[in-house]
Amino acid sequence: MTRTTRPDWLLAIAVASTALLVGCATTSSGAVDTMAPGMSMPGTLPSPIPQSSSAGSADAGPSAASQMICGTETRDNITRALALAASPHSVDSWINRQYTCTYHLTDGEFVISVQESSDAASARSYFDTMQGNLAPVQPIEGLANLGLPAYETKGGVVVFLKDNMTLQVDARKLTDKIGPHGVTRTAFSYQVATAILGCWTAH
């Protein structure tokens, strides 16, 4: 069974589309506002992020595209999707070329990470290795994968590969049904992942 036949996916798409309409905001100055890894809630990041921005280095820290997972757009999308009264607290880190943002929600931790590989081939190898570690997984197929390699688990993990970057969204520590629409953990992870990817690829 592919993603295109699942009701929770259809609901996630509808909510994600709404989030994208109000996400990907650009700061008036066009400058990147960030905080050092390990500190919570980085500032607004400009969007859309050009594809060329995804080539960060270990010495320079995470790329602007990676930092978006802990930026204002993603935090606001999560706040809206869950109908939260206030923005969730988040903590980020940059270790071994992986940028991670952990959102502390009432129901548990929601974790988004981006692994920045040195090139596309290395990224594919990392993506495939992760697939084995998370097995069993289900490929995300058809229009749902946005033309990118992607898979999901029943427990709430969604993984996308784009260029040299592997995006993982992990809702395994949340409740079975999430938000006012009662979507599954996997559907919620997919919603957040596609909102981030939409900002990465917009021009």
d(CA 128, CA 121): 11
H or E segment and range at residue 122: helix 120-134
Domain residue extents for the chain: 3-201
Query: Which is more confidently placed, 32 or 138?
Result: 138
At 8, is the pLDDT very low, low, confident or very high (cuts 50, 70, 90)?
Answer: low
d(CA 134, CA 3): 18
d(CA 1, CA 181): 23
Phi and psi at residue 17, in whole multiples of 5°? -60, -40
Q: Does position 150 have pLDDT exceeding 50, yes or no?
A: yes
Query: Which is more confidently placed, 58 or 43?
Result: 58
Model confidence, pTM: 0.77
The amino acid sitting at 148 is L
pLDDT tens for 157-168 read 999 999 999 999
H or E segment and range at residue 11: helix 7-22
For residues 193 and 169, the answer to whether their CB atoms sit within 8 Å is: yes
d(CA 19, CA 149): 23
At 23, is the pLDDT very low, low, confident or very high (cuts 50, 70, 90)?
Answer: low
- Please give the pLDDT value at position 152: 98
